[in-house]
Structure formats: C-alpha cells, structure tokens
Structure 1
Amino acid sequence: MDVPVSRRIVAEIAARIASGELAPGARIPSTRQLVAQYGVAMATATKVITTLREQGLVQTRPGSGTVVTPLARAGLAPPDRDRVVRAAISVADAEGLAGLSMRRLAAELGMPTMSLYRHVADKDELVLLMMDEVMAAAAPPRHLSPARDGWRTCLQAHARLQWAMYRRHPWLAQAVSFTRPLLAPRAMAHTEWAMRAIDGHGLTPGVQFRAAVMLANHVRGTAVGLEEEAQAEQETGMTDQQWLRSQRDRFATVLATGELPMLERFLTDGDQDFDLENLFEFGLQRLLDGLELIMTRG
C-alpha cells in the first residue's frame, strides 16, 4: 500500500529534525512553501503542519511562523532499521500482531511516530522485515544432508525447527500467507531448502514445490492456534488440559444422548493426549508417509 503524500512529507521533516538539520527554534517550510516544493494542494500542506504539531515536533510562534519545539530532539537519536525491526518483534511477541501499531512501536523506541517512516514505508513492510528477521534466526538445519541423512530425516527436522520458531513467535502464523506470500528472501530460503531435500527422487519441480509448501502450511496452520491458546490461558488461568477437565460434566451431558458413539469411545479409551504439539507431530508423520508413497511410485 502506498504511503499518503502528506505522511511522506511529515516523515521527511521529522527525519530532518531528528538528525539535527532542523534545530530547535528553526522555522520549517510554511504551507505555501510546501505547496511549491512538493506540488501538493494547500489542504495537504496544512495537514502536514497539523500532524507535525500533533506529534509535538513543531509549534506556532507569533511573528516567527511554525518552528521546531525546544524538546523535539530530546532523546531522539534516530534508530537504524534493524533496531526498529527488533523492537517490533519484541512488541509482537508480548502483545501479538494486533497489539503492534506504528504508534505503539514509536512509544517503545521513545521517538515520534512519524520518524518511523524514515525506516519503513508502512506496517506491511515492517511485518515483512520482521518475518525475514525471524526466519533468518531459524535458518534451515545446515548440519543435515539429504544424501547422508535421508530426505525424511531432513524434512522432519526442518518442520520441527519451524514449529519451534512459531512457538517462540506466535504472531508469525498470523502474518504468513501461502496464497499471497510476502516476498521475504530468507523466508523463501526455507522453501528452497525443503525442495532440495526431496530432489533426485523423480518428482517434478511443481510437485517438489507443492510438497515443500504443504509441509510448511501444516506447521503454520497448526501454529495459528498458539496465540489463541496463550490468550485463552491468560484469560482463564487454566491450561487446555485443565479447561477440558473442567468441562467433564458438559461432555457427559452431550454424550449421554448416544448420538456420538465414536467420540464416546475416544473419551473412555484412555488415549486422550490431544494438544497442538500432538496434532503437529501426528500430521507431520502422516504427510511424510504420503510423500514417501509418491516417491516410491516415481
């Protein structure tokens, strides 16, 4: 999404203030000067000045026009992009992707919101950079080789590595899309690695790609529940197992109708281990079993 022209102008002026080019007390361009310099409408120029004033960066001084406020640069050493991305990851880890906004991130960094636009165009680009950073920290396992260790061992280790990554960063599952993927180079390296792991077994590039995405989507799809699970535990004070035990009477009432015999057998069988970890592992092994059949057939 394109950043509105008023926001780009605000970000440029905020950056000049943060760098010291526009010192406290210095005049910033007037609305007429902004119209002439950027070729924008008077309404847009007025919005720029208003936004800068709301951010506490400028003030109107009688006889002097609009000037940089005395405290505008206090504590505002402009952070580099890496620091912005790391701070955004910390906020998302603690508060989820919904809790991450440019305003919230600016507060975390102790800087004006508009100054962030020196480093990222918008939240979409920020999330892309966050994904790339997290994926880089969980790079595919270099110690494994398909030729030496076998393709199944490689894919299994790779999927478990990704699962651990999602557990560390539950917001990531909400950000990843396989139908409209963000083009994060170090995220794409995971797909490349998985395709290499099954290369040489008679599969076409199309099948290799779909197999790699299938496994990654299983991990991501299961991990979508991690953030909801954590939130539910925080709100109720109970783990999933504790919550299930608290619902025994309700389950008994439903099962007493006799309309769910298979579920009744399951609940009385004794093998009731069911959580996201088990769901992930069971699904992973079944997908690898199916992939092995395709390879054998080829």
Structure 2
Amino acid sequence: MTETTSTRIAADLRARIAAGEFGPGDRVPSTRELTRQWGVAMATATRALSLLQDEGVLRSVRGIGTVVAARPGSARPARRRAASSPARDDVVRAAITIADAEGLATLSMRRVAAELAIPTMSLYQHVSGKDDLVTLMIDRAFGEEPLPAHAPSDWRAALEIAARLEWTVFRRHPWLAPAMSLTRPQLVPSALRYTEWVLAALDGRGLDTAAAFDVHIMLFSYVRGMAVNLESEAQAEAESGLTAEEWMDAHADALTSLTAGGTFPHFQRIPELDFDLDLDALFELGLRCLLDGLRGVLP
C-alpha cells in the first residue's frame, strides 16, 4: 500500500512538472507538505521524492531543498567568462560562491579555476594554495559586516553588537565556522577588528589584558560553536531532502518508543510540546545567559 501511494504521489508531481507548474530549479512540495496534502506518513512522502530523484527528475540543493532538475537539453547557466588576468578579489569571490552553495569540502583550486574558466595554475599568481585562499575568504566574509564607527559606552551593549554581527556573518556563510580554528587562528584584519572592539569595550573595567582577552575568546567561541551546526545541517538537508523539522517528524515514532516506559519522564514531555529547534532563538538565549554571567566580574 505504501509503495503504491508513493508511486501515485510521484506520478502526480511528475505530471505537474510536465505541465509546467514547476520549472527547472523550482522547489517542489516538501515531505511535510506532501504528508498534509495526501494524508500519508512521512516515510511515504519521502519515498515519493526519492523515486523522482532516482529518475533524475528532482535533485537536492544545499540550503534550498528538493528542486526540479534541468531537463535534458535545457539551457544551463552560462559559465563566467574567462578573464585574461583575474584579480585576486575575483578568485576569492568565486571561492566564496562555491563554498556558500556547495560547502567547503567541495572547494579546490581546480574547482575555482573552472568557475572562472581559467587554467588552474593561473590561480597561483594570487594565492599559494587552498589554505591561503580560505584565509582570504575568512577575511572577506568578516569584512562584509563592519563594526560601527563608534562603540557604545556600555560594555554589554558593545559585546552584544560584536556577537550579533559575528552570528550574522556565520549565518550568511555556513562554511565559515568550521573553517576557523580557535587554537591556531587565522590572523585576518577584518576578524581582528572584532577582537580589538571587545578589548576596547572591556578596557578600564577591572580586568587585565589577559583576562579581557579570555572574555573575547569565550564570547567568540560561543558564537562560533553555535554556528558550527549550520553547515552540517545544510549538508544533511541537501543529502536527505528533509529539513531538520521534517527529519524530526520522520523519527517521531522512534523517539516516542525510546521514551516510553517512564525511564526519561522529563524528556518525554519534549515530543508532546511539538518542540522546534530554533538556532537563532538558542543563540539569543545563550548570549543573554553568557552576558548576564559576566556581570559578576564586570561593573
């Protein structure tokens, strides 16, 4: 019965695509939407989308979901015209575009060269290798969100500005948090401006320079630690075709079974709340708790 229903859903989507309701690159109904429209289980809806992916009708796109694949013979987006001598900024922008869309793991010198339609060896006029390129990408990413010209006099307000701008940058570029190192940091001017901002906000607050720097590291580590989840979630969604919420729905029965019997009475209440994991809300909660805690050591 499940297989028959999945096939019927797949046939309906196939017909709607053929009729032009969804064109190449358009997102099709998610598994959650299909379960509501057809009154079926999540597994059935997932199977329907998988059938069309196996046929090449649909494909998963990182950060977007399941979309209609390009039809055979359809026009593909034009590749960027080759530059006789691309500037280093062109190379960095191309690398960021690739990492934003496909993840840092797919980034290579050959891939960037293909994006620019130039020989791979031409890139080495601008960067010494991938590590050097990633450092330049980090610098450019943080430079997209400059700090205000003037900092507020209140240390807490200043630290909130820095943390929220960092979160904005990490949100925009999911690859960025995993690319950065805490123990062997990439020393880039745009990120160091954030360090200087925090140290200046804490200056004269009763902390020596080392203690103030520890506060900066703690704050940055919190923001980066939350942001590390962004790329892995984007990758999981692209590979499975399921959002985090849809994935939880698909595993609801297993979660209910795990908590049955009263072994975990408090955790058992969570599924009953229809809880949604909101990273932005968690970020705000954690930031508030962290800054509240600093009030114990800062005037």
Are residues 1:157 and 2:166 paired? no
Structure 1: gaps (5+ residues):
1-73
Match of 2:92 in 1: 85
**1:273 Cα deviation from its structure 2 partner:** 4.2
Q: Is the 8 A contact 1:159 1:216 kept in 2?
A: yes
**1:157 Cα deviation from its structure 2 partner:** 2.1
Are residues 1:100 and 2:107 paired? yes
**CA separation in 2, counterparts of 1:236 and 1:76?**
37
**Structure 1 segment 50-199 matched on structure 2, within 5 A:** 75-143=82-150, 145-147=151-153, 150-199=154-203
Q: Is the 8 A contact 2:245 2:276 kept in 1?
A: no
**1:75 Cα deviation from its structure 2 partner:** 4.7
Cα distance change of structure 1 residues 83 and 276 upon mapping to structure 2, 3 Å threshold: same
**CA separation in 2, counterparts of 1:271 and 1:194?**
38
Match of 1:21 in 2: none
TM-score by length of 2: 0.69
Match of 1:10 in 2: none
Q: Is the 8 A contact 1:141 1:158 kept in 2?
A: no
Match of 2:69 in 1: none
Q: Once the two structures are superposed, what CA deviation does each residue of 1:181-233 show, in whole Å capped at 9, x if it has no partner?
A: 01112211111111111222111111111111111111111111101111222
Percent identity of paired positions between Structure 1 and Structure 2: 51
Match of 1:242 in 2: 246
Q: Is the 8 A contact 1:136 1:186 kept in 2?
A: yes
**CA separation in 1, counterparts of 2:101 and 2:211?**
38
Q: Once the two structures are superposed, what CA deviation does each residue of 1:232-284 show, in whole Å capped at 9, x if it has no partner?
A: 2222332212222222211111111322122123444x383433222212211
Larger radius of gyration: 1
**CA separation in 2, counterparts of 1:271 and 1:195?**
42
Structure 2: gaps (5+ residues):
1-80
Q: Is the 8 A contact 1:229 1:240 kept in 2?
A: yes
Match of 1:295 in 2: 298
Are residues 1:228 and 2:235 paired? no
**CA separation in 2, counterparts of 1:75 and 1:243?**
42
Q: Is the 8 A contact 2:82 2:116 kept in 1?
A: no
Segments of 4+ moved more than 6 angstroms: none
**CA separation in 1, counterparts of 2:227 and 2:175?**
9
TM-score by length of 1: 0.69
- Give the counterpart letter for 1:264 in structure 2: Q
Q: Is the 8 A contact 1:85 1:126 kept in 2?
A: yes
Q: Is the 8 A contact 2:92 2:137 kept in 1?
A: yes
Q: Is the 8 A contact 1:195 1:208 kept in 2?
A: yes
Per the alignment, in what secondary structure is the counterpart of residue 182 of structure 2? coil
Q: Is the 8 A contact 2:256 2:271 kept in 1?
A: no
**Structure 1 segment 237-276 matched on structure 2, within 5 A:** 237-268=241-272, 270=273, 272-276=275-279
**1:119 Cα deviation from its structure 2 partner:** 0.6
**CA separation in 2, counterparts of 1:271 and 1:152?**
34
Per the alignment, in what secondary structure is the counterpart of residue 296 of structure 2? helix
**CA separation in 2, counterparts of 1:228 and 1:180?**
22
**CA separation in 2, counterparts of 1:140 and 1:84?**
25
Task: Name the Cα RMSD after superposition.
Answer: 1.8
Q: Is the 8 A contact 2:95 2:137 kept in 1?
A: yes
Cα distance change of structure 1 residues 75 and 126 upon mapping to structure 2, 3 Å threshold: closer
**1:174 Cα deviation from its structure 2 partner:** 1.2
- Give the counterpart letter for 1:256 in structure 2: A
Q: Is the 8 A contact 1:146 1:154 kept in 2?
A: yes
- Give the counterpart letter for 1:161 in structure 2: L
Per the alignment, in what secondary structure is the counterpart of residue 203 of structure 2? coil
Per the alignment, in what secondary structure is the counterpart of residue 263 of structure 1? coil
Q: Is the 8 A contact 1:76 1:111 kept in 2?
A: yes
